[in-house]
Amino acid sequence: MKKLLCSAFALALVLGAAGVSLAADTGADLYKSKCAMCHGPEGTSKMPNVPALSAAEAQGKSDADLKTIIEKGKAPKMPAYAGKLTDAQINDLVKFIRTLKK
């Protein structure tokens, strides 16, 4: 048991030194890293053909619709995130998008 605890501690030290986080990203973290560059930090996109996620049109979509768009992407610019993000992460993104409502 003592050897197992030492091994776990050593692994945590190595991961920490490498900058690897074992904590899950929040919806806000995921939005900032995956979405904000196009949709804007507050969801108020100014880019052509990129919807403002704070706008009534985006906020009027169901959670299932938003999840599908995140998973499958949307031509011509939005990439698909199925297989790149977990279902839980996609659900967290949808919840965060709801906080962007005007």
Domains and CATH numbers, the chain: 25-98 (1.10.760.10)
Contact present, 77 and 38 (Cβ < 8 Å): yes
Residues 20-62: pLDDT tens digits?
A: 444 568 999 999 999 999 999 999 998 999 999 999 999 999 9
Helix (H) or strand (E) holding 63: helix 63-72
Taking residues 70-80, what's their average pLDDT? Answer: 95
Residues 11-22: pLDDT tens digits?
A: 454 445 444 444
Residue type, 98: R
Residue 10 CA: distances (Å) to CA of 5, 7, 22, 43: 9, 5, 14, 41
Taking residues 4-12, what's their average pLDDT? Answer: 47
Beta bridge partners, 85, equal 82
Q: What is the pLDDT of residue 56?
A: 96
Q: Check residues 22 and 94 and name the one with the higher pLDDT.
A: 94
Contact present, 34 and 26 (Cβ < 8 Å): no
* Predicted model pTM: 0.74
d(CA 77, CA 45): 13
Residue type, 21: S
